[in-house]
Amino acid sequence: MREVGVPDEDLARIEIMLPFAALANTVPMLFWLVCHVFSRRELVERLRREVQAGMVVKPLHSEGGNQTTSEVGGEEGGAEVVVNVAAAVVEEKCPLLMSCYRETLRRTVHQVSTRTAVQDTVLMDRDGREYLLKKGSVVQMVIGAGHGMEEYWGEGVDEFDPERFLSRKGDGEDGPGSSKAMKTAFQPFGGGMHLCPGRAFAFAEMMAVMATLLLGYDIEPLEGSMWELPAFATRSVIDAVTKPANHGEGFGLRIRRRLGWEGVRWKYEL
Ligand code: HEM
Rounded CA separation 82/80 (Å):
6
Distance 198 CA to ligand 1 centre (A): 6
3-class SS of residue 36: helix
Determine the distance separating the centroid of ligand 1 and the alpha carbon of 86, expressed in angstroms.
Answer: 19
- With a 6 Å cutoff on the Cβ, whether 142 touches ligand 1 is no
Ligand 1 near 33 CB (within 6 A): no
Task: Give me the tens of pLDDT residue by residue for the chain, a chain 270 residues long.
Answer: 999 999 999 999 989 888 888 889 999 999 999 999 999 999 999 999 999 999 998 655 444 444 544 456 555 556 889 999 999 999 999 999 999 999 999 999 998 889 999 999 999 988 999 999 999 999 998 888 899 999 999 989 999 999 999 976 565 677 888 888 888 899 999 999 899 999 999 999 999 999 999 999 999 998 877 888 999 998 877 788 999 999 888 899 999 999 988 889 899 998
Give residue 117 CA to ligand 1 midpoint distance, Å. Answer: 21
* pLDDT tens digits along 26-43: 999 999 999 999 999 999
Rounded to 5°, the CA angle 94-97-102 comes to: 120
Q: How far apart are CA 122 and CA 156, in angstroms?
A: 34
Closest residue by CA, ligand 1 atom 2: 26
Contact 262, 81 (CB under 8 A): no
List the chain domain ranges: 19-110+188-270, 112-143, 148-187
Most ligand 1 atoms within 8 A of CB, residue of 25, 27, 139, 187 to mutate = 25
**Among candidate residues 160, 164, 158, 188, the one with its CA nearest the CA of residue 178:** 164
In whole angstroms, what is the distance from residue 198 CA to residue 202 CA? Answer: 6
109 Cβ below 6 A of ligand 1? yes
pLDDT tens profile 220-246? 998 877 888 999 998 877 788 999 999
CB 9 within 8 A of CB 182: no
- CA contacts within 13 A on the Cβ side of 251: 17
CATH topology classification for 19-110+188-270: Cytochrome p450 (1.10.630)
